[in-house]
Amino acid sequence: MIIVMKPDATESEIQNIIKIIEENGLKPHISRGKERVIIGAIGDEAVIRNIPFDSYPGVENAVPILKPYKIVSREFKKDSTAIKVDDHEIGSDRIAIIAGPCAIENREITLETALKVKEGGANFFRGGAYKPRTSPYSFQGLGEEGLKILYEAKQKTGLPIVTELMDPRDAELVCEYADIIQIGARNMQNFRLLLEVGKIDKPVILKRGLSSTINELLMSAEYIASQGNTKIILCERGIRTFETATRNTLDLSAVPLLKKLTHLPVIVDPSHGTGHWDLVIPMSVAAIACGADGLMIEVHPHPEKALSDGSQSLKPEKFSILMEKVKAVAEVVGRII
- For the segment 261-292, what is each residue's pLDDT rounded down to a tens digit? 999 999 999 999 999 999 999 999 999 999 99
pLDDT tens-digit profile of 295-307? 999 999 999 998 8
Rounded Cα distance between 37 and 4, Å, is 6
Across 41-70, average pLDDT: 91
pLDDT at 17 over 60: yes
pLDDT at residue 225, rounded to an integer: 95
pLDDT at residue 82, rounded to an integer: 96
pLDDT at residue 32, rounded to an integer: 85
Is domain 83-332 in CATH 3.20.20.70, yes or no? yes
To which H or E segment does residue 12 belong? helix 11-23
Closest among 295, 310, 285, 160 to 233, alpha carbons compared: 295
Q: Which residues of 61-100 are buried (b: 16+ CB within 10 A; e: fewer)?
A: ebeebebebbbbbbbbbeeebebebeebbbbbebbbbbbb
> What pTM did the predictor assign?
0.92
Q: What is the CATH number of domain 2-63?
A: 3.30.70.1140
Rounded Cα distance between 286 and 233, Å, is 19
pLDDT at 136 over 80: no
Q: What are the strands, taking DSSP E only, across 55-146?
A: 59-63, 83-85, 88-90, 96-100, 124-126
pLDDT tens-digit profile of 166-177? 999 999 999 999
Query: Rounded to the nearest 5°, which phi and psi values hold at 175?
Result: -65, -20
Mean pLDDT of the chain: 94
Identify the sign of the CA torsion 233, 234, 238, 240: positive
pLDDT tens-digit profile of 306-329? 888 889 999 999 999 999 999 999
User: Which of 35-49, 166-180, 226-240 is the least confident region?
Assistant: 35-49
pLDDT at 139 over 70: no
pLDDT at 34 over 80: no
Contact by Cβ (8 Å): 31, 40: yes
Q: Where in the chain is the domain with CATH 3.30.70.1140?
A: 2-63
pLDDT band of 109, cuts 50, 70, 90 = very high
